[in-house]
Amino acid sequence: MAHARIKGTGSAVPEKVLTNFELEKMVETSDEWITTRTGIKERRIAGEGEFTSTLATRAAERALEMANCAPEELDLIVIGTVTPDFPFPATACLVQNNLGASRAAAFDISAACSGFLFGLSIVDSLIRSGAASKALVIGAETLSRITDWTDRNSCVLFGDGAGAVLLEAEEDNRGILSTHIHSDGSYWELLHQPGYGSRNPASVRVLDENLAVIKMQGNEVFKLAVRAMEDAAHQALSANNLAPSDVDLFISHQANRRIIDAIGKRLGLTEEQVFINLERYGNTSAASIPIALDEANRSGRIKEGDTVLLDSFGGGLTWASALMRW
């Protein structure tokens, strides 16, 4: 049976850097608090003319180039995002147009920080079934556009960026070995954007009540994230009869260094097994895993034959894991 295998990775982040020291001038916070509580030192912020679709397009172009794949060969483009250019059409359709991927069906997935792994899971199934053979899965966000820049509890965390992978059907034992996706809607209020949907459409009230921005109960999310991501990681390993020591690289959603450290400790992973880049980008939601994957790939941190475990958690609540042989 055909496997979906990653043949190319790409990422793109805005040029503008926002450091913890600059945030000190915006809200009552300190570099020391942000660094010790989150591990984040700086994040990227989209500039004028930069949107989720432009970042996604740049990341996709790099993945296509690495895979030596022409846009016209694509069957599918799937984007995980909670910050689409417009409520509709899908940002994936804008990216399809930008790339000239005329044959590709394109749609977005709303699974917050798990959007990339949910997309990977869907596309993996479509490739295994024979319905698609070349596809882009992208995680792309401009969270800065829905961040409450007066709320120190959340504004220090988020950043903008995009990451993409090019998946191809391949008849060998490498590629995606398993994916697991989960949701628990009873916790939807812990992390959400109240405004601009059908419940609170655009209005003066939505602006007055500051509803068009991210609302997060960080502490609760933290506890649930550690537990859920540990479970999802174990699920991926046991589905493949593997132990944590078999993992060459663990790439978790990059939300908070303390969350990643806690999961690493619970799984018994060494520091060398765990990839972290959140100090430079903060939490880029659906983009964090594919950006990290691209950096790990391009820097040689992942080698052919390596076992790579991906693990995510986000609003919804949603969580997911994917295990692959590179």
- Residues annotated catalytic, as ranges: 113, 253, 283
User: Are 14 and 280 a contacting pair, CB within 8 Å?
Assistant: no
Q: Which is nearer to ligand UT7, 135 or 143 (CB)?
A: 143
Report the nearest approach of ligand UT7 to the CB of residue 225 (Å): 5
- In three-state secondary structure terms, 297 is helix
Contact 287, 204 (CB under 8 A): no
Q: Which residues contact 35 (CB under 8 A, 6 or more apart)?
A: 20, 41
Q: Can you tell me the distance from the alpha carbon of 221 to that of 226, in angstroms, rounded to the nearest whole number?
A: 9
Q: How many CA atoms lie within 13 A of 107 on its CB side?
A: 9
Q: Are 289 and 117 in contact (CB under 8 A)?
A: yes
Residue 323: other Cβ atoms inside 10 A = 23
Measured from the CB atom, the residue of 145 and 152 that comes closer to ligand UT7 is: 152
Least distance in angstroms from the C-beta of 218 to ligand UT7 = 3
Closer by beta carbon to ligand UT7, 35 or else 97: 35
Rounded least distance, CB 11 to ligand UT7, Å: 18
Is the Cβ of residue 319 or residue 326 nearer to ligand UT7 in the bound state? 319
* Nearest residue to ligand UT7, by Cβ distance, number only: 218
Q: Which DSSP letter does residue 230 get?
A: H
Measure the CA–CA gap between 38 and 42, rounded to whole angstroms: 11
**Interacting residues toward ligand UT7 by CB under 6 A:** 29, 33-34, 37-38, 113, 152-153, 156, 191, 218-219, 221-222, 225, 255-256, 259, 283, 313-314
Q: Which two tokens stand for residue 163?
A: 């990451």
Nearer to ligand UT7, 31 or 73 (CB): 31
Q: How far is CA 193 from CA 6, 199, 245, 296, 316, in A?
A: 32, 11, 39, 31, 11
Q: Report, in Å, the least distance between residue 9 CB and ligand UT7.
A: 21
Report the nearest approach of ligand UT7 to the CB of residue 32 (Å): 9
